[in-house]
Amino acid sequence: MSLRYALLALLTARPLSAYDIAKQFGTSVGFVWYAPDSQIYPQLRNMEEEGLVEATELPAGGRRVKREYRITDEGVRQFRDWINDPGVYQRERDTHRLRAAYLEWARPESAREHMERHIEFHREQIEQWSAVRAAILDRTNPTLAARLASSPPEQHERIIAFKAFAYDGLIERARTEIAWAERGLELVDKFAADPTPTAAQRRA
């Protein structure tokens, strides 16, 4: 998935200025596709050149103007094509599993810190994602509210169900990560108590 499809997904709800896109990105599609502002703004310009979005200049107070982006018919067509494409799964590049595979080289306190930080990060993610999921289900999420306002009422249940389903997956994956790291802590404690030095420790 490229950033353009995440931006098109956001714009299928309603037109937004570049500032509002960057602001809402972090509270909606940004949870599943992270991108800093430094990537969002150039991508919007590229998408405008390719005809996927069009911008209208609107007054923004005083002499200032803001550019409001809306998705074009071509943008909708490409977004639909992407949604209907089953996609290709990529080979893993997992820093945390790579490090875990060689923790015999680490000091016990460092190995323990790796696992504890992993747990803390994913607990924070669960808290954040759970709050977003709750706001989706009670329809108080502003991005969802805008999408529902522009969609026929008979589609609302389906829209909400799929959004909540996506966050269910994120939450379940984070819980699995926590359980994995907790087992890692048990291993660290087990081998920290073992007086037999490893080959790596003997070479240190």
Residue with tokens 């989706």: 136
Which residues is 65 bridged to in the sheet?
A: 59
**Token code pair at residue 94:** 């997992």
- The pLDDT mean for the chain works out to 90
The percent of the chain in helix, strand and coil, each rounded to the nearest 5, is 65, 10, 25
Q: Give the model's confidence band at 196: pLDDT under 50 very low, under 70 low, under 90 confident, else very high.
A: low
Calculate mean pLDDT across residues 32-59.
91
**Which residue intervals of 138-155 are DSSP H helices?**
142-149
Distance CA(59)–CA(45), nearest Å, equals 20
For the chain, list the strands marked E by DSSP: 16-17, 53-59, 65-71
| pTM of the shown model | 0.83
More confident residue, 61 or 203: 61
